[in-house]
Amino acid sequence: MPERGEEFNDAVIATIEAIPCGEISTYGEIAQESGYPGAARAVGNLLRTVPGLPWWRVITSTGRLVPDKEVEHARLLRAEGISVMRGKVTMRGRV
């Protein structure tokens, strides 16, 4: 079992970096894949604390984009080939 501390940020960062281009994930998914289910909040915090990560590929479970950066976020997602409508991400078994 993973020891919390550096393992947490390292695991989460690795998971985020592992997101393929054109694909997206949610904070909860990343937390669970990293081995810390329920730590969606901590993931969001880490993602905002540690720069250099593809934060634009990470959205909320409701398809919500990063607040105050929805325009920037949507622009980056569209650059990856993701469809964004009214500040929300589509392509998820939907539409």
- To DNA, the closest distance from the beta carbon of 30 in angstroms equals 9
When the beta carbons of 1 and 20 are compared against DNA, the nearer one is 1
List CB contacts of 54: < 8 A, sequence separation 6 or more. Answer: 16, 17, 19
User: For residues 15 and 26, which CB has a smaller minimum distance to DNA in the complex?
Assistant: 26
Q: CB-wise, 81 or 90, nearer to DNA?
A: 90
Q: Tell me how far, at minimum, the Cβ of 20 lies from DNA, in Å.
A: 18
In angstroms, what is the minimal distance from the CB of 65 to DNA? Answer: 9
3-state SS, residue 43? helix
Interacting residues with DNA (CB under 7 A): 4-5, 8-9, 26-28, 36, 38-49, 55, 58, 60-62, 64, 66-67
- Residue 41 CB, shortest distance to DNA, in Å, is 4
Which own/partner pairs from 29-36 qualify as long-range (CB within 8 Å, at least 24 positions apart)? 30/58, 34/8, 35/1, 35/2, 35/11, 36/2, 36/4, 36/8, 36/11, 36/12
Q: Do 64 and 88 meet the contact criterion of CB atoms below 8 Å apart?
A: yes
